[in-house]
Structure 1
């Protein structure tokens, strides 16, 4: 182990890539004691076990939240035609991940499992609130890796406008956690909320260079989208092509010859 890393009072496992920091004291946990380092790993494990499944359920499984919030977010951010089918594929992946975290259950057990998951998530948030207390950060006045980890879980839950927010209501009742997220947002993300980052300066007359190619790019993007949709429809079986049997030759000539024979 390099001498610079030996100065750290506690050393996370070297096999975990996220803990590999350069030796210029860039480690956010450099000044933590061994006990604080153990608390960091314990709280991270607690959040992944108790809070992550409920966040997946809130944003990807709950029907109202998925349709009105999550799917809308991703559909607006993705280009056409990916915004038609990628959100649904992502939802299936998150549902499979939730099944791996909680195990597969019968349909009649899902409601009881949901109640249990939300109860454990509320207890986890309450424990975080008690651990934070009146401090600015979990280990004093300076942020550590635990603060970044907790903020990544709580900020989205606090800021999203969810039509079905059972866990969100509990979080908003823990005022020190809400103030904690608001403090980090104002400190490190000042453009979130009222303040907006300054717009990029554009050239005085950008149309002189982009106008000849704009119409071509629009036409190509429309053609590519139509081709992708047609290919997807054919591969998925929504549309199928059947070859019609060859049309029979008209029998007018045969009928005319038969009439001539009868006349003779």
Structure 2
């Protein structure tokens, strides 16, 4: 944990200018950058093979669920998010957030992981920066993890049937968001809300990353006003870096270097695994 920081948020690594390639991680990063009153340390796990990030280490407690992390973040920022909005707007923000999760969550997961080409492409993105053999172990665990996600979401219907309904709902909801946005900078005026963090967390990877299967990208790209809004949001809150997330984002912060002891241990494990692999497959022979 960074000195003076009340917590450390561990996320999947960023790429292509995104602070993370994962929608759930992005939602929290954007939330912190908009509302944080205290410094929060942001870290990527280069030696970790755990496929279920984000997680938050704060005040000697570890939060693994997205809801648990979000609740903890709200406590860190004292009065919570959106406190300057009117009571009516707070209610509308809450309703839109609930609807956003309902419309986006399952459909986006299926587009990410349900198509094999997207699946393999994204697992490489998620594992970017991990050192061998951690990258290989992570890919295997991530594959099993996303297979369970897809199986759970397509338990009763085929992938095509589920996505047909989901795609129509996403398209319709993006049209509703366009009407809410109108010509404003943010969804509720001239200042960002937790709804902006949530919506852009979902949409930023779709707008920025290049997917082999572009069905969802094409749906989103048809809504030009939303695409422009997401790109403008990223210019303000989407800088890619590791370090401490302050109330004001610095222009450039150097990535944290791994401690020497960690590098030595990782190197020893890597060499050991390679030697074992060579012995098992007769690449290395012992007389």
Q: Does TM, normalized by the shorter one, top 0.5?
A: yes
Residue 71 (structure 1) aligned to one of 123, 145, 155:
123
Comparing both chains, which one has the higher relative contact order based on Cα–Cα distances under 8 Å and sequence gaps of 6 or more? 2
Which has the higher Rg, Structure 1 or Structure 2?
1
Structure 1 CA distance for aligned equivalents of residues 71 and 265 of structure 2: 42
Question: What does residue 145 of structure 1 align with?
Answer: 194
Q: 2:272 aligns with which of 190, 212, 224?
A: 224
CA distance in 1, matches of 2:273, 2:141: 18
List gaps (5 residues or longer) in structure 2: 1-69, 242-250, 283-287
The separation in 2 between residues aligned to 1:162 and 1:70, in whole angstroms, is: 8
- Matching of residue 85 in structure 1 with residue 137 in structure 2: yes
TM-score, normalising length: structure 2: 0.58
- Distance between the aligned counterparts of 2:252 and 2:231, measured in 1? 18
Q: Aligned pair in 2 of structure 1 residues 165, 39: CA closer, same or farther (>3 Å)? A: same
Please state whether the residue corresponding to 1:114 is helix, strand or coil. helix
**Would you tell me which structure has more strand in proportion to its own residues?**
2
Q: Provide the rounded CA distance (Å) in 1 between the counterparts of 2:109 and 2:252.
A: 30
Structure 1 residues 22, 189: closer, same or farther in 2, change over 3 A? closer
By how many angstroms is 1:191 displaced?
6.2
Q: Deviations over 1:110-163 (max 9, x none)?
A: 322221222222222222222111110111101111111111111111001112
Number of corresponding residues: 201
Structure 1 Cα separation of the partners of residues 168 and 86 of structure 2: 32
Tell me, in whole angstroms, the C-alpha distance in 2 between the residues paired with 1:151 and 1:170. Answer: 15
Is the CA contact 1:50–1:117 (under 8 Å) kept in the aligned structure 2? yes
What residue in structure 1 maps to residue 24 of structure 2?
none
Runs of 4 or more consecutive aligned structure 1 residues displaced over 6 Å after TM superposition: 216-219
For 2:179 and 2:118, the matched residues in 1 are separated by 29
